[in-house]
Amino acid sequence: MFNKNTVAAGVAAFASVALAAGCAVADGNKADDVDITAMSAEELAEHLIFETNSWRDQEMQEGGGWRDRMTQDDIQKACSFDSTRNDLDGETAGQVVALAREQYEAPEGDIELGDWRQGAVLADSGYGYRIGHNTDDHGTREAGGNCYNCHVMDSSVSVQGTIGPNLENYGAQRGDSQEIRQYVHQVISNPHQYFPCTQMPRFQGLLTEEQISHIMAYLLDPESPVNNR
Ligand code: HEC
């Protein structure tokens, strides 16, 4: 697909040829070939968003692009019910839990905790996965977990969200047995296994296993400030 800037730069040279040949200059303009009156509301919305000249796909440094980000997977589709009229029903919840268990990849053997200091930085960082003109450069900075956007963890950190539960003293209250580590790994990796249609993101694939181990240390290590509040 033509990038608009490329088209603009090349347009002076190409316009006369393209117009003489009767072809559209920008390949994004397919409006002539489609009958929008035959479309359902969803199809029309998809068409307007993705197929008209207003749309320009852009890449993310992490791989993929805008379009991938806006394409729902099975869990997102199942969870996209109208919450004003229809709460999560038992059948959908069951499906979502099953899908999440299928997606989840358990680590082999015992789960080791990483370094809580690195976990603190990752939990506080919302860097990464931006789309648009201001893409990320992981040559200088890795993607973070953005946990503070939704959770209180160490209450001395100034900005903390309240969408999710307060996680202060999380490990101090639960210990850090293998069972607890497995549970926390499952929740961070794919929380729909326990909380179907939760707002919490699935971090497996967004963060590396090493990053997850650092964040788990931040939550569970007795030395971590999270457990000394
Ligand atoms: C967009 C908001 C959001 C973000 C970001 C988020 N969470 Fe959550 N988290 C939630 C919500 C909401 C719940 C409660 C589950 C529910 O009811 O949906 C939750 C639950 C949890 C739980 C389970 C608590 C329990 O009862 O055992 C843990 C652990 C957790 N989050 C850790 C994290 C960590 C670590 C990060 C960052 C890597 C993170 N969360 C990022 C929203 C978020």
Rounded to a whole number, what is the largest CA-CA distance in the chain? 75
- Could you identify the atom of ligand 1 that is nearest to the CA of residue 203? 38
- Could you identify the atom of ligand 1 that is nearest to the CA of residue 216? 35
Considering only CA atoms, which residue is closest to atom 10 of ligand 1?
164
* Residue 24 pLDDT exceeds 60: no
Backbone angles phi, psi at 61, to 5 degrees: -65, -30
Token representation of residue 138: 């992981």
Considering only CA atoms, which residue is closest to atom 39 of ligand 1?
147
CB atoms closer than 10 angstroms to residue 78? 19
User: Measured from the CB, is residue 145 less than 6 Å from ligand 1?
Assistant: yes
C-beta separation of 24 from 7 below 8 A: no
Tell me what pLDDT residue 128 has. Answer: 87
Give residue-wise pLDDT tens across range 36-60: 999 999 899 888 888 887 777 888 7
Lowest mean pLDDT among 3-7, 26-30, 38-42, 123-127: 3-7
Q: How far apart are CA 47 and CA 41, in angstroms?
A: 10
User: Measured from the CB, is residue 151 less than 6 Å from ligand 1?
Assistant: yes
User: In one letter, which amino acid is 40?
Assistant: S
Cβ neighbours of residue 49 closer than 8 Å, sequence gap 6 or more: 55, 70
Token representation of residue 229: 């509040």
The whole-chain average pLDDT of the chain stands at: 84
User: Measured from the CB, is residue 216 less than 6 Å from ligand 1?
Assistant: no
User: Measured from the CB, is residue 150 less than 6 Å from ligand 1?
Assistant: yes
Q: How far apart are CA 97 and CA 103, in angstroms?
A: 10
C-beta separation of 147 from 154 below 8 A: no
In order of 101, 180, 195, 216, 219, the CA distances from 172 in angstroms are 28, 12, 23, 13, 9
How many percent of the chain have pLDDT more than 90? 58
User: Measured from the CB, is residue 187 less than 6 Å from ligand 1?
Assistant: yes
Q: Please tell me which residue, 131 or 210, carries the higher pLDDT value.
A: 210
* Residue 223 pLDDT exceeds 80: yes
Considering only CA atoms, which residue is closest to atom 3 of ligand 1?
200
